[in-house]
């Protein structure tokens, strides 16, 4: 039995070598995706006149459409390739990771989405500064927004480089840099030309392809296992190289060494999602709060379905590809899903899944870029610097310029961090979102006494705590995988700051509020409460 598996695995390993060197197929499938989405983006851009068109797609998407777009925005390459790989190698612990990403959506559904849609216009800062002092709160919210977007964007761009070496067989630094630049330029074009409408359509198409592709592969894997999860697990166990073999069915392989670290990560995942600015901004692309609710419901079903599929795909890759082959492949853990595609459907399916992975990066970076640009132009430029006195088209003009600047920074940053271990950046983005954004969002929506001082302390305090703890952690110091390899020792023992920085963000929000000498305007508080719950005065859809 084991000999049989060994021969299958070596067969796959040699097939990888040939498929990898056939980048023409992969590139043409990806080219087709770019052509189709560019066509859609250009068509969608015809009505981009006002700020509401550019930032919020004229608030004209339906709930189901936005649900697909949210899934497309949220399911990054890290969650597709990373989670499939983690399940393939570490089994249960990889699955454990994906659950936090799903459950987190209940925070968005129950506490945030509808109320934000009713009180905001374009950005997270609109809601947070609604009844507090405009400039300090807006500035703080814009800074945390830009920080989250920057960390996330850098992680995605660097991931693009790694993906190339895996999928196209380009291992030279220069080739990878060219691809990062291509991704960056495409992203600038999508966002510049298409605005939120174009970005949304790219995300919808990508979500469709990603979930569709994963569904086909899942059915295929299940068919090979007699449509029995039990048989699949039994086969995955027999292919396992852990000791004992069935360790992949229980916890401990990935996070067993330091359970506190996982607890800290779990906090950041479950509370961070509803504070991610690019997710929040998506709620403004629908006409009403009811549609915002529908979009979250669609997103929860799609994202939940997707993570259930990754469970089958991960164990399927463990069985059909084998953990040793995955670990030895270029790209390591991240290669599990592409290698499974190759084992199932040959080079054509590999090419399709590779193109989907690229599309995934494009859709996510486009969403991050338009969010960062909107925050800079709408919050910092129009409201903090110009105090709201800007000509009607001035804000969008600044936003478009910001898109180009962010795109160039992302390309330079993405090339600069190549070969560095920057996987921590995604976890850091979630930790900042949970520590700096979520406390202020929750307080300003539900706590009448909340003050400007509370908001500012919470946002800057949460942001600083998350970043400082990461810099003092093993991510930077003292281990084989640290940024400074085997240099110094970490002062803070955990890889994730959430367990301290999130409670600190909530605590500072409370402390700043009770220490405030000035109370906020009760009429503004009443207005926010009435508008958030009833939708009176909410921004309407643009009709053309």
Partner 1 sequence: MSHVRTDDAPPGEVDYVAVEQSPRFVELKKKHRSVVFPLAALFLVWYFVYVLLSSFAPEFMAQRVWGHITMGLLLGLGQFVTTFAITMGYVRFANNRLDPISGEIRDRLEQEEAR
Where along the sequence are the contacts to partner 1 (CB under 8 A)? 92, 95-96, 99-100, 102-103, 105-107, 109-111, 114, 229-230, 233-234, 237, 246-247, 249-252, 255-256, 259-260, 262-263, 266, 270, 290, 293, 297, 300-301, 304, 307-308, 446, 522-523, 526-527, 529-531, 533-537
Q: Work out how close the CB of 286 gets to partner 1 at its nearest, in angstroms, rounded to a whole number.
A: 15
Helices 259-272, 498-514: crossing angle, 10 deg rounding: 50
Helix (H, G, I), strand (E, B) or coil at 467: helix
Q: Return the HEC string of 185-198.
A: HHHHHHHHHHHHHH
**Contact assessment for residue 415 and residue 181, using Cβ atoms and an 8 Å cutoff:** yes
**In terms of CB distance, is 18 or 245 closer to partner 1?**
245
Q: Work out how close the CB of 304 gets to partner 1 at its nearest, in angstroms, rounded to a whole number.
A: 6
**In terms of CB distance, is 164 or 528 closer to partner 1?**
528
Q: Work out how close the CB of 228 gets to partner 1 at its nearest, in angstroms, rounded to a whole number.
A: 9
Q: Work out how close the CB of 114 gets to partner 1 at its nearest, in angstroms, rounded to a whole number.
A: 8
**Contact assessment for residue 69 and residue 285, using Cβ atoms and an 8 Å cutoff:** yes
Q: Could you give phi then psi for residue 484, rounded to 5 degrees? A: -100, 95
Q: Work out how close the CB of 247 gets to partner 1 at its nearest, in angstroms, rounded to a whole number.
A: 8
- Residue 63: which H helix or E strand, with range? helix 63-74
Q: Work out how close the CB of 432 gets to partner 1 at its nearest, in angstroms, rounded to a whole number.
A: 20
Q: Work out how close the CB of 59 gets to partner 1 at its nearest, in angstroms, rounded to a whole number.
A: 17
CB atoms within 10 A of CB 238: 14
Q: How far apart are the first and last CA of the chain?
A: 66
Angle at CA 315, nearest 5°, toward 314 and 318?
90
**In terms of CB distance, is 53 or 261 closer to partner 1?**
261
Q: Work out how close the CB of 376 gets to partner 1 at its nearest, in angstroms, rounded to a whole number.
A: 31
**Contact assessment for residue 194 and residue 204, using Cβ atoms and an 8 Å cutoff:** no
**In terms of CB distance, is 482 or 495 closer to partner 1?**
495
| Residue 33: closest CA among 361, 336, 298 | 361
**In terms of CB distance, is 303 or 428 closer to partner 1?**
303
Instruction: Give CA–CA dist 465/507, Å, rounded.
Output: 12
Instruction: Give CA–CA dist 350/19, Å, rounded.
Output: 8
**Contact assessment for residue 196 and residue 185, using Cβ atoms and an 8 Å cutoff:** no
Helix (H, G, I), strand (E, B) or coil at 221: helix
Q: How far is CA 227 from CA 221, 222, 232, 307, 474, in A?
A: 8, 5, 8, 18, 43
**In terms of CB distance, is 17 or 110 closer to partner 1?**
110
CB atoms within 10 A of CB 523: 9
**In terms of CB distance, is 234 or 471 closer to partner 1?**
234
**In terms of CB distance, is 22 or 529 closer to partner 1?**
529
**In terms of CB distance, is 113 or 340 closer to partner 1?**
113
Q: Work out how close the CB of 91 gets to partner 1 at its nearest, in angstroms, rounded to a whole number.
A: 9
| Residue 193: closest CA among 38, 56, 57 | 38
Q: Work out how close the CB of 138 gets to partner 1 at its nearest, in angstroms, rounded to a whole number.
A: 22
Q: Work out how close the CB of 257 gets to partner 1 at its nearest, in angstroms, rounded to a whole number.
A: 11
**In terms of CB distance, is 105 or 152 closer to partner 1?**
105
Q: Work out how close the CB of 263 gets to partner 1 at its nearest, in angstroms, rounded to a whole number.
A: 6
Q: Exposed, middle or buried, 330 (CB in 10 Å: 0-12/13-18/19+)?
A: middle
Distance of CA 515 to the CA centre of its chain: 36
**In terms of CB distance, is 193 or 234 closer to partner 1?**
234
**In terms of CB distance, is 48 or 532 closer to partner 1?**
532
| Residue 445: closest CA among 144, 128, 136 | 128
Q: Work out how close the CB of 349 gets to partner 1 at its nearest, in angstroms, rounded to a whole number.
A: 27
Q: Work out how close the CB of 236 gets to partner 1 at its nearest, in angstroms, rounded to a whole number.
A: 8
| Residue 116: closest CA among 267, 293, 238, 354 | 293
Q: Could you give phi then psi for residue 477, rounded to 5 degrees? A: -125, 140
Q: Could you give phi then psi for residue 537, rounded to 5 degrees? A: 75, 10
Q: Which tokens sit at 350?
A: 């590999």
Instruction: Give CA–CA dist 446/114, Å, rounded.
Output: 13
**Contact assessment for residue 438 and residue 272, using Cβ atoms and an 8 Å cutoff:** yes
**In terms of CB distance, is 235 or 513 closer to partner 1?**
235
Q: Looking at residue 380, what DSSP letter applies?
A: I
**In terms of CB distance, is 108 or 280 closer to partner 1?**
108
Q: Which tokens sit at 137?
A: 């709160």
């Amino acid at each position: 039995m084991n000999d049989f598996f060994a021969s299958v695995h070596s067969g796959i390993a040699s097939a990888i070598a040939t498929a990898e060197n056939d980048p023409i197929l992969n590139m043409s499938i990806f080219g087709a995706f770019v052509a189709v989405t560019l066509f859609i983006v250009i068509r969608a851009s015809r009505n981009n006149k006002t700020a509401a068109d550019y930032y919020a797609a004229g608030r004209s998407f339906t709930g189901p459409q936005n649900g697909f777009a949210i899934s497309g925005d949220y399911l990054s390459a890290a969650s597709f390739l990373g989670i499939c790989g983690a399940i393939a190698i570490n089994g249960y612990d990889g699955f454990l990771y994906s659950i936090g990403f799903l459950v987190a959506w209940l925070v968005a559904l129950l506490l945030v989405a509808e109320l934000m849609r009713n009180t905001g216009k374009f950005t997270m800062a609109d809601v947070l500064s609604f009844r507090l002092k405009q400039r300090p709160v807006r500035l703080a919210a814009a800074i945390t927004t830009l920080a989250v977007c920057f960390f996330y964007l850098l992680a995605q761009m660097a991931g693009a480089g790694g993906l190339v070496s895996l999928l196209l067989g380009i291992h030279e630094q220069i080739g990878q840099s060219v691809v990062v630049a291509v991704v960056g330029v495409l992203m600038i074009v999508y966002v510049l030309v298409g605005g939120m409408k174009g970005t949304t359509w790219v995300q919808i198409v990508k979500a469709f392809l990603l979930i569709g592709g994963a569904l086909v592969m899942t059915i295929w894997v299940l068919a090979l296992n007699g449509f029995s999860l039990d048989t699949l697990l039994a086969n995955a166990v027999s292919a396992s190289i852990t000791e004992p073999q069935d360790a992949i069915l229980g916890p401990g392989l990935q996070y067993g060494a330091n359970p506190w670290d996982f607890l800290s990560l779990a906090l950041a995942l479950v509370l961070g999602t509803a504070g991610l600015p690019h997710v929040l901004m998506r709620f403004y692309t629908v006409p009403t709060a009811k549609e915002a609710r529908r979009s979250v419901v669609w997103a929860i079903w799609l994202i939940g379905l997707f993570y259930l599929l990754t469970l089958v795909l991960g164990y399927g890759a463990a069985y059909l590809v084998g953990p040793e082959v995955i670990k030895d492949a270029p790209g390591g853990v991240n290669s599990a899903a592409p290698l499974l595609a190759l084992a199932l459907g040959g080079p054509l399916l590999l090419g399709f899944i590779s193109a989907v992975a690229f599309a995934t990066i494009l859709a996510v970076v486009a969403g991050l870029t338009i969010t960062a640009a909107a925050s800079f132009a709408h919050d910092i430029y129009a409201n903090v610097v110009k105090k709201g006195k800007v000509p009607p088209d001035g804000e969008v003009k600044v936003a478009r310029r910001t898109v180009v600047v962010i795109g160039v920074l992302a390309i330079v940053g993405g090339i600069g961090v190549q070969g560095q271990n920057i996987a921590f950046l995604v976890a850091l983005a979630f930790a900042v979102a949970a520590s700096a954004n979520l406390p202020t969002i929750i307080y300003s929506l539900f706590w009448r006494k909340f003050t400007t001082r509370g908001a500012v302390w919470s946002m800057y305090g949460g942001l600083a705590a998350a970043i400082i703890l990461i810099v003092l952690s093993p991510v930077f110091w003292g281990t084989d995988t640290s940024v400074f390899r085997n240099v110094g020792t970490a002062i803070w023992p955990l890889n994730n700051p959430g367990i301290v920085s999130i409670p600190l963000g909530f605590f500072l929000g409370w402390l700043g509020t009770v220490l405030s000498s000035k109370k906020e305007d009760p009429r503004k508080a009443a207005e926010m409460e009435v508008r958030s719950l009833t939708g009176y005065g909410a921004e309407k859809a643009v009709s053309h």
